[in-house]
Chains A and B, each alone.
Chain A
C-alpha cells in the first residue's frame, strides 16, 4: 500500500517569508496529524484532524501557523511569516478507524519536510 506522502522534502526560506507543506495520508485514513520535530527533540503535535474537522490545535501558534484539510483527504500546513525558531522537520501522520470501532493504535508517518529558516 502507498504510504503517507509529503512534499516538498526540503525547503529553505528567509525569515518573514511564507511556506506551505502538503500531506496526502494513506487512503481511507480519517485521522491526520501534523507534528513539528526540532533537532534533538521529540515530535510535538501541532494539529490533529478527524476527517475535515479539527480535533486538537492547542499547540499550533495560530498567529503564524494555519492548516486545513478541506475535503477530509490531503492537508496543507502553512507558516506566515516564518521565524528562525520554526526551523524543524514537519511530519505528517495518519491513522484509521477500525471496522469494529475505535482507532487503530498505530500512526503511519511520512518522511517529513525539513525546513530551514535563515
Chain B
C-alpha cells in the first residue's frame, strides 16, 4: 500500500534562512508525489508535484522539492523563508492503481520567526 511519512510535527526557522520540510514515501511502482499547504481555516492548496523527469521540482511561492529515489524522499525546500510561509504542509502520494486516490501525510507545521 502506498504511504508517506512526515517525521517532524513542527519545523521552526528564522526569516531569511533556508527551510526544509521532510517527507519519505513508500510506493509500488513509479511514485506520483505532491506537496500541499494549508493556511488557518482554509482548504489545502497545491504547491508542486513530481511525476517524472528532473529530480528538482519548482512550484508556487518560491518552493521547490527534491526527489531522491534511493532515499525514497521528497523534501520540500525554500532558499529564504518568509514569515508568511508559516502554515501546515502536507506531503501526498497518488495511488498507482489507476483510481487517482491521494494519500496524505500527517502534516508538518512550519513556523517562520521574524
Q: Which residues of A contact B (CB under 8 A)?
A: 4, 31, 33, 35, 40-45, 48, 55-56, 91, 93, 95, 103, 105-112
Contacts and interface: CB of A to CB of B under 8 A. Distances in A.
Contacts, number: 56
Contact residue range for chain B?
20 to 34
A111 B42 contact: yes
Contacts of B22: none
Interface of B: 32, 34, 36, 41-46, 49, 51, 90, 94, 99-107
B108 to A, nearest CB: 10
Contact of B99 (A35, A40, A55, A95): A55
The secondary-structure label for the interface of chain A is strand
Nearest to B50: A105
Contacts of B94: 105
Contacts of A95: 100
